[in-house]
Amino acid sequence: MTTPRLRASSALANVRYEIRGQLARRAHEMEKLGYDIVSLNIGNPGAFGFRTPETMRLAMIENLRQAEGYVHQKGIFPAREAVVMQQQERGLRNVTVEDVFMGNGVSELIDLVLRGLLNDGDEVLVPSPDYPLWTAATILNRGKAVHYPCRESNGWNPDLEEIEKLITRRTRAIVVINPNNPTGAVYSREVLEGIARLAERHRLVVLADEIYDQMTYDGAQYVPMATLVHDTLCATFSGLSKIYRACGFRVGWVVLTGEKEGTQEFVQGVELLSSLRLCSNVPGQWAVQTALGGYQSIRDIVKPGGRLYQSRRAILDAVDASRYLHLTRPMGAMYAFIGVKRDVLPDFDDQSFAMDLLEHKHVVVAPGTSFNAPYNTHFRVTLLPEPEVLRDVFGRIESQLDVYADARRASAAGGLKVVAKG
């Protein structure tokens, strides 16, 4: 008797998250065989020696006794109050703890908000390239992700006219990732105001992914989207994972601001979904008040001489010295979205390159197509390793690209010989 195949749900057919996909699985296999792999595909500070601030760890430990039971589905009051105070410091006055939901990281909250918002076939405007969870979560929650291009020729900024042409009667929301993952772009106030006015005009919910809010370089200014959105609903997502180097705590939040009239049913829906998972991780929530109210050590890390700043400098220098690479300088977040020059390597394919780099040079990068980019000329690396590690890695990258260039020259020479012989 033949055993029937157990198939995955058809809902997963168009869902991709290659950052932890085939390449990551192969890297894990190679590590078990004894290879030392440099993994630049995931922005995981703890894997590169970054520690969560001690005051946050102590706050969690000291409150463990109060973290053993379920809490309110929206989260503990001190954590939500700390988020409110941060928003007020940024200029938002009409926000209360009732507008804040705590979650198991931003990832869970993205899913909850989209599930509470979307009906079959509803459309969400998502940047391309994007953080792929946004596209995946839209699809899994019965929606359609419509990608608006953010072109390198425009500094990875969106074009408002292009966005507006994509809006239909089914468009419900627009996603804004700023500072941006994967490109490192930090949008200007002018760009953000344009998106805010467009969203208000079409009554779109603004979904502002600002997990890298204080991670900027060389004087780039982060502008909170919520301070610009007034006449439609704005949902701002952030958390402890990146700025506070606490990925494993799994603590995120979403703050609902802007025009709230007529949104009660949606907000109640999000609270219902929050109730169904009972509550989010409690111990980590006790670190939020200390994190947001304490010394912001991220500022030391992103300024000249700081760890992330110097690692970013090492990548910029390596790309400048490369025969094959180009890069629009990342002004925020913890990534570089690096392009390969088509005129030098016209046959370059990001997926093949990423696998070759892993197999032959023992480095994992994320192919640009993993971020729903319609071109195969880019790859993303994280800025997290020490500068000397990155210099070594880019030596390996250059060596792998040399292999491609040599093969291309050999192929061209062989073709010429055949022509001459004929």
**CATH number of the domain that 180 lies in?**
3.40.640.10
Whether residue 219 lies inside any domain: the answer is yes
313 and 283 co-located in one domain = no
The CA-atom distances, in angstroms, between 25 and each of 238, 358, 404 are 28, 11, 25
136 and 100 co-located in one domain = yes
230 and 245 co-located in one domain = yes
pLDDT tens, the chain, 422 aa long:
677 788 888 888 777 777 778 888 999 999 999 999 999 998 999 999 999 999 999 999 999 999 999 999 999 999 999 999 999 999 998 899 999 999 999 999 999 999 999 999 999 999 999 999 999 999 999 999 999 999 999 999 999 999 999 999 999 999 999 999 999 999 999 999 999 999 999 999 999 999 999 999 999 999 999 999 999 999 999 999 999 999 999 999 999 999 998 999 999 999 999 999 999 999 999 999 999 998 999 999 999 999 999 999 999 999 999 999 999 999 999 999 999 999 999 999 999 999 999 999 999 999 999 999 999 999 999 999 999 999 999 999 999 999 999 988 888 777 545 444 33
For residue 116, which amino acid is it? G
- Judge whether 172 and 124 are in contact, CB under 8 Å: yes
Q: How far apart, in whole angstroms, are the C-alpha atoms of residue 165 and residue 286?
A: 45
- Judge whether 258 and 226 are in contact, CB under 8 Å: yes
Q: How far apart, in whole angstroms, are the C-alpha atoms of residue 123 and residue 166?
A: 10
The CA-atom distances, in angstroms, between 41 and each of 20, 124, 391 are 8, 26, 16
- Orientation of helix 307-321 relative to helix 387-421, angle to 10°: 20
The distance from CA 73 to its chain's CA centroid, rounded to whole angstroms, is 26
77 and 174 co-located in one domain = yes
198 and 309 co-located in one domain = no
Q: How far apart, in whole angstroms, are the C-alpha atoms of residue 226 and residue 253?
A: 14
DSSP annotation string for 64-126: GGGGSS---TT--HHHHHHHHHHHHHTT--S--GGGEEEESHHHHHHHHHHHHH--TT-EEEE
164 and 258 co-located in one domain = yes
Stated as kind and residue range, the H or E segment containing 350 is helix 350-356
Cα end-to-end span (Å), the chain? 60
pTM: 0.93
Q: Tell me how many degrees the CA angle 67-105-367 measures, rounded to the nearest 5.
A: 150
**CATH number of the domain that 352 lies in?**
3.90.1150.10
Token pair for 70: 């379920």
Tell me the residue range of the domain where 304 lies: 10-50+300-421
Residues in the chain: 422
The 3-class SS string of 245-291 reads CCHHHCCEEEEEEECCCCCHHHHHHHHHHHHHCCCCCHHHHCCHHHH
Number of domains, the chain: 2
35 and 72 co-located in one domain = no
210 and 264 co-located in one domain = yes
pLDDT tens-place string over residues 47-89: 999 999 999 999 999 999 999 999 999 999 999 999 999 999 9
> What SS3 state is found at 362?
coil
Q: Give the residues across from 128 on adjacent strands.
A: 149
Q: Which of 266, 293, 320 is the last residue of a domain?
A: 293
pLDDT tens-place string over residues 165-194: 999 999 999 999 999 999 999 999 999 999
Q: Give the residues across from 379 on adjacent strands.
A: 338, 367
Whether residue 1 lies inside any domain: the answer is no
288 and 348 co-located in one domain = no
